[in-house]
Amino acid sequence: MKISVFGLGYVGAVTSACLVQRGHTVIGVDNNPTKVDLIAAGKSPIIETDLPEIIASAAADGQLSATTDAAQAVRDSEISLVCVGTPSRMNGSLNLDYLRTVCEEIGAVIKTLDREHIVVIRSTVLPGTMRDLVIPTLEAAAGKPLGDGYRVCNNPEFLREGSAIYDFYNPPKTVVGASDEIAAAKAMALYEGLPGPMITVPLEVSEMVKYTDNCWHALKVGFANEIGSICKAEGVDSHAVIDVFLQDTKLNISTAYLKPGFAFGGSCLPKDLRALSFHARDNDVDTPILRSVLESNVAHIDRGIRQVIAAADGKRKIGIAGFSFKSGTDDLRESPMIDVIERLLGKGFDLRIYDKNVQLAKLMGANKAYLMEQIPHISSLLVDSLDELLDHGEVIVIGNGAKEFADLPGRLSGEQKMVDLVRIIDPAAAPAGYDGICW
HEC sequence for 397-427: EECCCCHHHCCCHHHCCCCCEEEECCCCCCH
CATH class for domain 297-436? Answer: alpha beta
212-222 burial, b at 16+ Cβ within 10 Å, e below that, comes to eeeeeeeeeee
Sequence letter at residue 428: A
Q: What is the pLDDT of residue 113?
A: 96
Q: What is the pLDDT of residue 328?
A: 86
Q: What is the pLDDT of residue 186?
A: 96
Same fold, 2-212 and 297-436: yes
Q: What is the pLDDT of residue 64?
A: 97
H/E segment holding residue 67: strand 64-67
Backbone φ, ψ for residue 237 (5° rounding): -75, 105
- The catalytic residue positions are 268
Would you list the domain boundaries of the chain?
2-212, 297-436
> pTM for this structure?
0.87
pLDDT in tens, the chain (439 residues): 999 999 999 999 999 999 999 999 999 999 999 999 999 999 999 999 999 999 999 999 999 999 999 999 999 999 999 999 999 988 989 999 999 999 999 999 999 999 999 999 999 999 999 999 999 999 999 999 999 999 999 999 999 989 999 999 999 999 999 999 999 999 999 999 999 999 999 999 999 999 999 999 999 999 999 999 999 999 999 999 999 999 999 999 999 999 999 999 988 899 999 999 999 999 999 999 999 999 999 999 999 999 999 999 999 999 999 998 888 888 888 899 999 999 999 999 999 999 998 886 666 666 777 777 788 898 889 999 999 999 999 999 999 999 999 999 999 999 999 999 999 999 999 999 999 999 9
Query: How far apart are the C-alpha atoms of 29 and 79, rounded to whole Å?
Result: 13
Where does residue 215 fall: left (phi above 0), alpha (psi -120 to 50 degrees), or beta otherwise? Answer: alpha
Neighbouring residues of 99: CB distance < 8 A, sequence distance ≥ 6: 82, 84, 86, 121, 123, 125, 129, 133, 134
Strand, helix or coil for residue 139? helix
Q: How large is the angle between the packed helices 51-61 and 10-21, nearest 10 degrees?
A: 60
Q: Where are the beta strands (DSSP E) in 174-278?
A: 174-178, 198-201
Query: How far apart are the C-alpha atoms of 277 and 286, rounded to whole Å?
Result: 9
Q: How many CB atoms lie within 10 A of CB 96?
A: 22
What number does CATH give the domain 2-212? 3.40.50.720
H/E segment holding residue 274: helix 269-282
Neighbouring residues of 23: CB distance < 8 A, sequence distance ≥ 6: none
Query: How far apart are the C-alpha atoms of 370 and 379, rounded to whole Å?
Result: 10
Q: What is the pLDDT of residue 439?
A: 93
